Every structure is written in structure tokens, then in C-alpha cells.
Amino acid sequence: MTKSEQKNTHTLILMPSGRRGDIEEGTTILEAARHLSVEIESICGGRQTCNKCLVKIEEGQFDKHAINSSSSHVTTVTEKEQKVLIENQRPDLRMSCAAEVFGDILVTIPEESRAQKQIIRKSARELSIDIAPAIRLTYVEIEEAELGEHRGDWGRLQDALEAQWGLKNLSIDLLALRNLQARIREGKWKVTATIWNDQEVIDVKPGFQEGIYGLAVDIGSTTVASFLTDLRTGANLATEVVMNPQVSYGEDLMSRISYAMTHPDGLEKMHKAIIDTLNKLASKASREAGIDKRDITEIVLVGNTTMTHVVLGISPIELGGTPFALANRDAMDFKARELGLRLHPGANCHILPSQAGHVGADNVSVLIAEQPYKQDKTILTIDVGTNAEIVLSSKDWMYSASSPTGPAFEGGQISSGMRAAPGAIERVRIDPQTKEPRFRVIGEERWSEEWQTGPDTEAELRPKHLAAGICGSGIIEVIAELYLAEVLTADGRFNHQVVGSRLQWSEDKKRGAYVLATADQSSSGKPIVVTQDDVRNIQLAKAALYAGAKLLIMRAGVNKVDQIILAGAFGSYIDPKHAMVLGLILDCELDDVIAVGNAAGDGARLALLNREKRAEAQRIATNVRYIETAVDKDFQDEFVNAMSLPHSRDDFPHLADILPQTTDPIPPQRIRRFQRTGNK
Amino acid sequence: MTKSEQKNTHTLILMPSGRRGDIEEGTTILEAARHLSVEIESICGGRQTCNKCLVKIEEGQFDKHAINSSSSHVTTVTEKEQKVLIENQRPDLRMSCAAEVFGDILVTIPEESRAQKQIIRKSARELSIDIAPAIRLTYVEIEEAELGEHRGDWGRLQDALEAQWGLKNLSIDLLALRNLQARIREGKWKVTATIWNDQEVIDVKPGFQEGIYGLAVDIGSTTVASFLTDLRTGANLATEVVMNPQVSYGEDLMSRISYAMTHPDGLEKMHKAIIDTLNKLASKASREAGIDKRDITEIVLVGNTTMTHVVLGISPIELGGTPFALANRDAMDFKARELGLRLHPGANCHILPSQAGHVGADNVSVLIAEQPYKQDKTILTIDVGTNAEIVLSSKDWMYSASSPTGPAFEGGQISSGMRAAPGAIERVRIDPQTKEPRFRVIGEERWSEEWQTGPDTEAELRPKHLAAGICGSGIIEVIAELYLAEVLTADGRFNHQVVGSRLQWSEDKKRGAYVLATADQSSSGKPIVVTQDDVRNIQLAKAALYAGAKLLIMRAGVNKVDQIILAGAFGSYIDPKHAMVLGLILDCELDDVIAVGNAAGDGARLALLNREKRAEAQRIATNVRYIETAVDKDFQDEFVNAMSLPHSRDDFPHLADILPQTTDPIPPQRIRRFQRTGNK
């Protein structure tokens, strides 16, 4: 080998990772970084077009007045590059695809040039994600058509994508093929192809183009939440939450399943209602973010099994009875237009997998967001809705169950219950001495004791909202506080020994009730009262939730949990202490009870931003061991045992200091009686 | 090994193939046949349900009165089987899935039980095909859903299809998934799944079901032909031919491309027109065959490149100018519903590949039907339409070209030209002595000399149709006959030396004309005349065709062809001798000029019935060497040389006896002149 053939190597250090290596002279920094497995953003594939790969050369910087100087460690800035840097107002940077290494250098990759960006997704509990979505934009230069060469434009594009991006065996959406020739010529044989899953070209735009977006949607029984996401940066551009219009066909899942059973067009109506809502959400979010909704190239849907069935146009009736057979458990991909979704015409719709008839994609989504299975702890993850999904996990195993809590925790089956809306009582404290309550309603910062409501009160001193009812967190708190104040006994009955104006009795003195808000505190002008039935319904709901968790503990063979993750809106607003006083959750250090908000929505966003998360979801959905509560004898026993407040002091060592000292377990026969009559 | 574990083997001979082998005792005949690679029809997979696998046991037949007799070579007929055989009126047969081998036997598989049936596809030229379509029906028994097992119905169906049919990694069409649960339960966990390409479940029907159909369609510029095909038997159930409604947007391809260029909604209108037509064809054919058009599960489309572009909704404008770039050359599959085709909702649409900008899927279809590349001959395949596609092939190579013949061969650019319709003159003879013609029109069996047309002729003696014009085959014959009768000289001019009432001259005596039908033979009451321009236009067309063929001969380096295949309606009606006299085709033994009718339609049917044919089509489309005539100097030279009638006697040794002895080549400058002016 002659000397001229020997290539010198130079040391390249890349910050902030600190990764270093020896690089052949003449290699571009972009290429060198790839050799060192450091990803620098590049859409154009090194063609000095996209201007995404700008880096700062900290040491070994080229002295721009000394062209060809022996001191230069990188090639000089060309006029074209200079122009780009000035246009981008970053004359201090270099294009890493243009600058070639000719000496040892230290390079810093600024945040915005790092391809695998970390995104901080939530203030309550930080989540980060590598951005590797199923949709990618690839800038590609195509060989011009020539007489005597017959590959066709699609063939030429395929060849270019293989040569320039290593993409093979691609197909093309018919709608993209229809525009292909005009777009290629408009772009003068330079185009940006939108590619789904390294499999299918779904769009071709002329020249170099940016901007791809995705929509993550959590379809809840009651609300639908959407997150419009920038698939390049991972940024959440718009969050929209609307009521699920299916509510008009039934409040809870069972009544919607009934509606589908009893109305020939029931499924179609509910399906159409949710599709319309998804279209409206997409429009609204796009307007808010200032993007074209036809640039939304993928939508990820999660929801409980009834919701995912109905959104796909599949009847949910099999979910209404044993053996609760799903039409499909696995994740699915299909064209969003097949559902009538008006996004990008070639947009993909991905639905996360379900676990079982009663544990849907929303729970899988919670799990891939929180990843309890990757932590070295025994973790109980609870997502409370009309059904509660409960997952007990360690690094080595995962058990899940669904508990039929009913709608009590959402304010349903509660005499003054209401949804979390302005005027709903959400916080309650009861003085253990006087038994007098104070409370706070949504939309008014002051507690009720500070309200001025008399007829002569000036308008501005009045509360913004009078009390309209009690929402989920409020009902938990009032019952826990009534118990802590010993207005309720451990068996859930009103205490005859309590004296006070707030306590009311039926004529036969058998059924008590507690006036939480007086007539003048109430928007209806009537007192807001907690009845014996309300207490019973909460007892039933919390016993179901607790029994489900207890069943998993038994099946997993553990005796305590290290952490409790509360997912969903309910979990965000209830006070862990009150939840534990009620025996709603297992005993745990209160600080280890963590509310993570809409983790189902977070999981959907993660699946949108990272393909690997979809594979992870599929693994979880099939690996988790689902325990069927509906037919489990142990569940029934635990359910009965879990009716009192709390059912056993021994189970809650962390509450030892605050619980009343008297306990009075409920005789099983009485429980069975109100099981039959209470849960109407 | 103990004796009881050793299994005896017996010899099985299968007729009519004569295949034989040793088979383990207790194996069913169906299974044994599979071991010997002999396919017996079975839809239910050996579950004694479909009754397709009946065979005749010729030797070693079981004596039905001697149950458990040592003389029986197959197991006895069960009551269930007996019932089936009687219902099918075939008590002499056995169900091969029920009869187990217990001795040496000879089995005959009747025609109707052979899975790989041969279908005779055409009387003119027999074609046969193994039936192995992309669509198959599979009867499958699914495990019932059980509490505590969460695969979902689709997961259970996948498992059953894998276990019972070896089908893996299937997907399911969303529309099939929507019906899945109800269909499975209706069939009591026994269903028939319709599977496309061993990839996708497109339908699930309850219980055991039969009946799958496909539609093969050849979209010509002028006519659209469809063939409704039974995908199990290969039978052609209905042939429909209608006008292509796009004719109203332009007679030829170029004018349709212009229409797409000049009208913003031009493409959409033409696309919609052809889709409507396909829907009408499907409805009409289904009615005729007495089937539900929703049982048409696949459609195969062929056509020239402009037609395949427009039917897919792709603008054909790039095909209108150099370099004639195709949007896509390769075969494509997509859902027929994406095009608005109303067949089975999950039906697939397959489009065969094209070769080049001017040689489309219809030509590839002709090739896979005729398979000239598999024969040990040099074969020229010609498909004449508005463009002529010409393929010269041997076992080792294939060259193709497209020649711009223009519409003259179809009656266009001919003063009295018309389409092949009742009243069109299709056969012509001219007496070499008297120069008097006789002719025959479509729809009337008698030649014109037998017509009685005078005012006193009785209605029933008059011809059914008077002459309305001249169609393609008629124009070929009249000009060839005029030349043979020396009314035309070899350069295509009318011969001044001919005397006769039929010959007319312009005032300056420069332009002759020939009266083919007199006023009283003509439906319009005016004579039907062959003009000098008519002759010139045919000369141009035939020269283009000949020059294309000659160019391929030159490129392939051969000096003669062994066989000429004429595809298309035109080829079926012209007389090879007249075609050769005109110099329209290369010299060849007249008996080796074969008309094969709508071979493009045949190829589409083959692709419908056999998946391998699709792979073959793709290989051909990419392997054939397309010669671009538009820019080829040799083509231009050959074109000019090919103008006279015939241009060189030496080129046509097979016509030596019949051609006039005088030749009079046209001077090149005159040809150029009428090239500029003649082809208006």
C-alpha cells in the first residue's frame, strides 16, 4: 500500500454523550456520528437540504480566514452552507453532513439536532421516550424517467428509497399512487415520501417537506381525550377532552351493550357517534395547533373493550355475558379512512391490544406508560372507571383483574351524585367533635365555611358556584370523614349515639342520613344529603375494588405492595388517605400512593411516538395473567369481608394512628341482604 | 419395538395417474393420496362434510356384508357415509377421507374429485390450467370460547386455521372482523373462511359453505369484456361484452389522454364511467349465472396502459408524451371497494403488470395465455387495436414493440369505415377479369350477388341488412383484392389502365376511387366507395405494423418466423392471406397464422384461476425487451419501405403464386408527402 492510499484517522468526541472514536479522514461528522451510534437528526439523508443536522465544533474549529491552513480540523464552510447557517441565524454552527473531519475535534450536538429526542411528558411523574414513530418522512432524489427505461415512476421511487434509505419491499397506497406522477414532476424528481412502518408509502410530496403529526386518543366510556402530537419532536400540540356522545345511549358499558342488543341500528348509531367525535377532535386540535388535519398521518386508539369494539364497528354484545369473548384481542392496523376518519387520506389507525373481555387497550396503555413490570417492586396499578382494572406486577410476573365497582365512584348510584363539573363537592372535612362539615366545590376556591350566601350578600362575595351535588372524590371523602368522625360505624350504619343537627333519621329510626350542604349552600335550594343507600353503594364498590386487589395478592403469593399507582381522573383527585380509610386500596405507605393522571392517554402517545412500544404492548397483553373475578370463590369471600370500614384494622397498619378505636364487623348475613337490595 | 407397535404397509395405486406407493395401515385414502402428491378435492379438510373427495375403489373393495372380515382392504362404510353416498346418488363410490387402507388397493379418482382440474378454455386453441386461485374457502372447526381463555374469536380462528390448514400469519379484513362473532356462533363454532392469497381472511360464513367466483375483465379502448368464473371448477359462467363508455370522451387513446389534460374533471369522469361499467358487468353476469355478486371475491383487470391508469384513477397524461412514463409498471393488489366496485365487500382487485408506456397489462395477458416463450419456435404475436402490440419470442428471449397503427384497421380514418356491427362489409372478393366486387355484411349470410333489392322485391327475399359501411376486416380485404385484381398498383394508386364502371376518377384524373357497394345495396342509399385516402391510410397502418415486426426481427437477429399469433377481435376476422397480401404481417406458412380471439381476456381468466400465472406475468413484464419504435431510425426506414403493396416480393415467398407479376415501388419522396398529408 502506498502512502497516498493510507488514510489518516482522527479522534472525534461527541458531546453531550461523550462518545468518542477514531474516524477516517474525510468522513463527514454526520456519518462519523452514525459510526459511533450517536444519532444526529437528518431528514434529507446528508444532502445539505434539510438543515436539521447542525452541530457546534467546540475544538479544532476551522479558522475561516485560513482556507487550506494546516490548522483546520474540518473542511471549510462552503458558500451554500454559509448561506444556510445565516438563514438559520446560527453562524456558530456547522452542517454535520457538510463538514468533513481532517483532525481531532470535539463536537457538541445541540438539543434540537439530536435525532432520538427525549420528551418530558408529564409534570407529576416524568416519562421520556425515544422518538421512533411508525411514520417517517424521507427526502429522496429519483432518477428521471427516460425513453427506453420502463420501471414506471413507482419503480423508480422504490429503487431510490432502497438505494438512499435502505427501504425494501415497499408497497404504495393507491391514493398516493394516484398523485405520484404529478408530485414527482412538481418536485423536479426530488420528493418527500411519507412511509408507514417501513412498509408502505402513504404520500409523496414535491421537494423537501416537513411536518408530520399523529393523534393519540383515549376513548373512555364517559369522556374522550385526544392528544395531537408532533411526530418529529414529540411535542404535544393540543389536548382536547370531550364527552363521549355514546352517553346518550347508556351511561355505563352494560347499558350500551344492551342498547346494541335491543336496537337493530344500535351499534351503527354508537359507532357513528364516536367516529363523528373523533373527526371533531381532530379538526379542533388541528385548528388549535395551526396545522392541516390532513397532515395527521397516524391515529392510535385505546379504550376499554366495549369502546374499542364499537369504534371499529364491531358489536359489543359478546362482552355482555359469559365467557365475555373478545372479537379480537390483538393490536390491529388498518386505514383510518376505512372507519370514516378524515385525517391524511392514507393515515394508519393503530389500536392497542386488549388483555381479556373486561380489560382493554386502555389498561395495556396504562401499563406501557407506567412500565410497572420494569421496576424492582411489587406494584399495584389501579385504573378506576365504571369497571376498575387492577394489575399487580413485579419484574417477573403480572396479574390483572377487572372489578365490577359500578358507577358509584363516578357519582353514579349516589343520591346526590354528579360528574366532576362546576359545583360538584370534591373535598370534605368533618369536625370529629361537632360533626359539622366543611366542603369545597369545583370552580370555587373557598371552602364552604367562608361562603356568604344570605339574601343580602353582595354578588361578588357569593361563591362562584353553589353546591350542585357530590362527585367521585367528594363521596369518598365524605364517607371516610363520617367514619373517622364516628358518625358512621365500621359496618356502615349511621351511629345512633351521635347528636347533631346534621344527622337525620327515618321515622322508624332505622335509616340515618347526613346533611352535607344546607339548602342555602345548594344551587337547587334543597339540602345535599348522604343517605344510608349512598353509604351502602360506596361500600359495595370499594369492597369490589379491594377484593380484586386482594385476589391478585393471593394469586401472586405476596403479602404486601410496595407502591400503588392510581391511573385515571378519579385517581388524580381522590386523597390517598381517605381512600385507604375507606379500605378502597390496599395498605401502603401513603407517600407510595401515586396518582399519574390519564396514563391510558400517555400510553397511547408513547405508542404513537415509538413503534417498539407497540411490540411491548403486544407482549404484555399476552403475558399478563388475567384472573376472572366473576366466577372466583375467593373473590366472593374477599368481597364480603371487605364491606366494613375498613374491614379489618390489621390490614391497615399505616392507618393505626388515625382510625377510630372501635370496630364492629358486619355480620355476613346482613351484607348479603344489602348486596341483594342495595345495588339497584 | 413390540409387534403391536409395528404398522403394516399396503400398496396403493391411484388412477388415472397410475401413481403408487406403500401406505401405512389405517391411513385414509385422502391422506395417502396427499403423500403420493395426488390431490383429491377436499374443502372440509377430511371432516366428512364437503362430500367432494369421493373415489372409486376398483380392487380390494370391501365386502359390505362382511364387517370385520379379514378380506376387506378398506374400512367399512359407516352409516353417515352411506347416507352421504346415497344422497349424492353415488353408492358405488367411497369418501376418501373416511375409507382407511387395510390392504392393497387400486383407487380411481373420478374427474370431479380431482382437485387440480384441467379446464378447456377455448375451442379455437385449447388452453388448460391448474386451478389454484388466490381465493380459497376453508372449512374450519374453532375451539369454543371459554371463561378464562382470552385469545378472542379472531385468535381462536387463527389457531384453528394454522392447526387444520397450516395457514400462518393471517390478517383479517376489518369488514370480516365485524361479522366474525355472529357468524361463528351461527355456525356453532364451525365456519367456512374465505382466504385471499394465504394472507388475509376476507370473510367468515357459518357452517360449511361453497361457491366462490371471480371476474376477469379486459378493458379495451372500445369494448370491455368480462368473464364470470367459478373459482372451484374453473367454469366460465357468463361472458359479457359492452362498449367502453369512455368512447364518448374520445375514440382513441390519444384523444382520451387529451380529454384528461384539458378538462379538470376529465380523469374523474372517465374513471367513474369505467367503474360504473364494471359494476354493471358484474351485476349482469351474476344475474345471468344465477349467483349473488357479493360472492365475487376477486376481480382481475387487464387493459392497455391508458385504461389501467384510468380505471385506477391515475391520470394518463404522462403516457401522452415522451418518455411515456408509467405511474406503475408492476402488478398491484388492493381492495376492490377502494375503487367503488360493488362485489364481495372484501374482494381483491388484481391488475396484471405492464411492460412499458405503450404495452400494457392486456399484452402481458395475451402472453401468459399463449405462452409463446415456452414453445420451441420463433413466434410473432400481434394484438391489433388502435395501437398494435407486437411480441417476437423464442424460448430464450422476448422482444416487444408498440406500433402506432392508428384506427384505420378498426374502420377509423376510412371514409366509409365503421365498427364491426350489423351491416358492416366484412368480406370482399373482386373478379380479376371484370373488376366487379361481391361482398358480405355482418348479419346477412348471403353474398351481395344473391341479394334482391329492387323496388318490387318481397320483404323476405331482401337481405336482413343492407351495407352500412366497411369494418376492419372488410377494408383489409377490399384493398388486398383491389391489388390482386390490379385495380391498385403496387404503390397504392388506382390503375389508370383499368376500365370498368366501378372505378371513378377526380376531374383532374389524379385521384381514383372504387365503388364497392352501389346505391341500392347501401342502407343510406348512397354508394359505398373506397377512396385514394382510404388506401393511403391503410398503407400507413400496415406499414407501421410491418415495420414494428421487422424491427423486432432485426433486433432479435432472426430472419423468419415460424408462427404468427393474431390476438384480439381484429385477428379473428381478417383473412391471413389478405393480411399477407397487404404486407400487414410477415411472411409465413398461411397455416401457421393462428387467430386466438380475445387472448387478453383468456390471460385474465388464467390469472384469476392460478396464482402462479401472476408470478409468471410479473417475470414476463420485466424480462421482455421493449423496443421503442417512436425514436428508432431503423423503424422509420422500415416504415417507409413497407408502404407499397407488398413492399417487396422477395419478402413474401409464400405469396409467389398469387401476387400480380408487376411491381412498382413508391419513390420515397411521395411516401413522405402522403405521410404528412394522408394521416389526418
- Residue A665 has a CB neighbour count (10 Å cut-off) of 13
The nearest CA of chain A is from the CA of B359 a distance in Å of: 10
The nearest CA of chain A is from the CA of B542 a distance in Å of: 24
| B385-to-B177, B376, B410, B572 alpha-carbon distances in Å | 45, 27, 7, 12
Angle at A188 between CA A186 and CA A193, to 5 degrees: 75
Alpha helices (runs of H) in B290-320, residue ranges in sequence order: 305-311
pLDDT digits (tens, 9 = 90+) for A220-237: 888 899 999 999 888 889
Q: What average pLDDT does range A456-470 have in this prediction?
A: 86
pLDDT value of position B647: 57
The nearest CA of chain A is from the CA of B71 a distance in Å of: 51
Residues of B in contact with A326 (CB under 8 A): 150, 152-153
| Average pLDDT across chain B, whole number | 87
Residue A187: burial class (beta carbons within 10 Å; 0-12, 13-18, 19+): buried
Q: What average pLDDT does range A661-673 have in this prediction?
A: 55
- Crossing angle of helices A668-678/A532-556, nearest 10°? 110
Res. A649: pLDDT tops 80? no
Do strands B388-393 and B379-384 pair parallel, antiparallel, or not at all (unpaired)?
antiparallel
B438 is written with which cell numbers? 361481391
pLDDT value of position A126: 61
Res. A679: pLDDT tops 50? no
Q: Do A327 and B630 touch (CB under 8 A)?
A: no
| Contact status, residue B129 vs residue B36, Cβ threshold 8 Å | no
Question: B612 versus B595: which is more confidently predicted?
Answer: B612
| Exposed e or buried b per residue across B504-523, where buried means at least 16 C-beta atoms within 10 angstroms of its C-beta | eeeeeeeebbbbbbbeebbb
Report the alpha-carbon distance of residue A208 to residue A494 in Å, rounded.
Answer: 72
Report the alpha-carbon distance of residue A394 to residue B263 in Å, rounded.
Answer: 66
Report the alpha-carbon distance of residue B420 to residue B422 in Å, rounded.
Answer: 7
Q: What average pLDDT does range A670-679 have in this prediction?
A: 49
What residues have CB less than 8 Å from A376, skipping those under 6 apart? A395
- Provide the CATH number for the domain formed by A9-113 in this structure: 3.10.20.30
Q: B2 pLDDT band (50/70/90 cuts)?
A: very low
B609 is written with which cell numbers? 384461476
- Domain limits, CATH 3.30.420.480, in chain B: 215-363
Question: B184 versus A71: which is more confidently predicted?
Answer: B184
The residues facing A564 across adjacent strands are: A380, A593
Residue B51: burial class (beta carbons within 10 Å; 0-12, 13-18, 19+): buried
pLDDT value of position B140: 94
Residues of A in contact with B618 (CB under 8 A): none
pLDDT value of position A178: 97
What fold characterizes domain B135-206?
Ubiquitin-like (UB roll) (3.10.20)
Question: A371 versus A655: which is more confidently predicted?
Answer: A371
- Domain limits, CATH 3.10.20.880, in chain A: 135-206
Q: Determine the residue type at A209.
A: Q
What residues have CB less than 8 Å from A51, skipping those under 6 apart? A84, A87, A88, A95
The nearest CA of chain A is from the CA of B328 a distance in Å of: 5
Residue A327 at interface with chain B, using a CB cutoff of 8 Å: yes
pLDDT digits (tens, 9 = 90+) for B271-287: 999 999 999 999 999 99
Q: Do A329 and B151 touch (CB under 8 A)?
A: yes
Res. B413: pLDDT tops 50? yes
pLDDT value of position A564: 95
Res. B679: pLDDT tops 70? no
Report the alpha-carbon distance of residue A269 to residue A264 in Å, rounded.
Answer: 10
- Domain limits, CATH 3.10.20.30, in chain A: 9-113
Torsion sign, CA atoms B652, B656, B658, B659: positive
Residue B265: burial class (beta carbons within 10 Å; 0-12, 13-18, 19+): exposed
Element (H, E) at B66: none
Do strands A105-108 and A9-15 pair parallel, antiparallel, or not at all (unpaired)?
parallel
| Contact status, residue A475 vs residue A417, Cβ threshold 8 Å | yes
What residues have CB less than 8 Å from A340, skipping those under 6 apart? A275, A279
Report the alpha-carbon distance of residue A215 to residue A293 in Å, rounded.
Answer: 10
Cell 394522408, residue located: B678
| Contact status, residue A211 vs residue A295, Cβ threshold 8 Å | yes
E strand map for A173-267: 190-196, 200-206, 213-219, 223-230, 236-243
Q: A671 pLDDT band (50/70/90 cuts)?
A: low
Determine phi and psi for B19, rounding to 5 degrees: -65, 140
pLDDT value of position A123: 39
Q: Do B325 and A145 touch (CB under 8 A)?
A: yes
Edge-to-edge strand list for the sheet holding A135-141:
A135-141, A190-196, A200-206, A171-172
Comparing A165-179, A200-214, A490-504, which segment has the lowest mean pLDDT? Answer: A490-504
Residues of B in contact with A625 (CB under 8 A): none
| Contact status, residue B617 vs residue B369, Cβ threshold 8 Å | no
| Contact status, residue A158 vs residue A181, Cβ threshold 8 Å | no
Q: A295 pLDDT band (50/70/90 cuts)?
A: very high
Do strands B223-230 and B236-243 pair parallel, antiparallel, or not at all (unpaired)?
antiparallel
| B216-to-B119, B192, B336, B570, B608 alpha-carbon distances in Å | 16, 24, 13, 21, 7
Res. A2: pLDDT tops 50? no
Give the CATH architecture of domain B215-363: 2-Layer Sandwich (3.30)
Residue A180 at interface with chain B, using a CB cutoff of 8 Å: yes
Q: What average pLDDT does range B554-570 have in this prediction?
A: 90
DSSP state of B336: G
Report the alpha-carbon distance of residue A292 to residue B481 in Å, rounded.
Answer: 68
The residues facing B171 across adjacent strands are: B200
Residues of B in contact with A151 (CB under 8 A): 329
Residue A189: burial class (beta carbons within 10 Å; 0-12, 13-18, 19+): middle
pLDDT digits (tens, 9 = 90+) for A146-188: 988 999 999 999 999 999 999 999 999 999 999 999 999 999 9
pLDDT digits (tens, 9 = 90+) for B278-325: 999 999 999 999 999 999 999 999 999 999 999 999 999 999 998 999
pLDDT digits (tens, 9 = 90+) for B139-182: 999 999 998 899 999 999 999 999 999 999 999 999 999 999 99
Report the alpha-carbon distance of residue B314 to residue A174 in Å, rounded.
Answer: 9
pLDDT value of position B125: 54
Report the alpha-carbon distance of residue B397 to residue B373 in Å, rounded.
Answer: 7
Q: What average pLDDT does range A105-110 have in this prediction?
A: 84
Residue B306 at interface with chain A, using a CB cutoff of 8 Å: no
Report the alpha-carbon distance of residue B369 to residue B460 in Å, rounded.
Answer: 44
State which of A234-243, A523-532, B49-58, B445-454 shows the largest mean pLDDT: A523-532
Q: Determine the residue type at B290.
A: G
Q: What average pLDDT does range A439-455 have in this prediction?
A: 89
| Contact status, residue B215 vs residue B344, Cβ threshold 8 Å | no
Q: What average pLDDT does range B410-433 have in this prediction?
A: 86
Q: B629 pLDDT band (50/70/90 cuts)?
A: confident
Q: Do B155 and A328 touch (CB under 8 A)?
A: yes
The residues facing A332 across adjacent strands are: A351
Comparing A33-42, A375-384, B317-326, B447-456, which segment has the lowest mean pLDDT? Answer: A33-42
| Contact status, residue A254 vs residue A221, Cβ threshold 8 Å | no
Q: Find which of A181, A341, A618 to mutate to test the B interface (most B CBs within 10 Å of its CB).
A: A181
- Residue A185 has a CB neighbour count (10 Å cut-off) of 16
Closest by Cβ to A325, choosing from B181, B317, B628: B181
Q: Do A328 and B177 touch (CB under 8 A)?
A: yes
Q: What's the gap between Cα A275 and its chain centre?
A: 20
Closest C-alpha among A505, A182, A216, A470 to residue A343: A216
Alpha helices (runs of H) in B50-128, residue ranges in sequence order: 79-87
Residue B143 at interface with chain A, using a CB cutoff of 8 Å: no
Q: Find which of A151, A328, A329, A625 to mutate to test the B interface (most B CBs within 10 Å of its CB).
A: A328
| Average pLDDT across chain A, whole number | 87
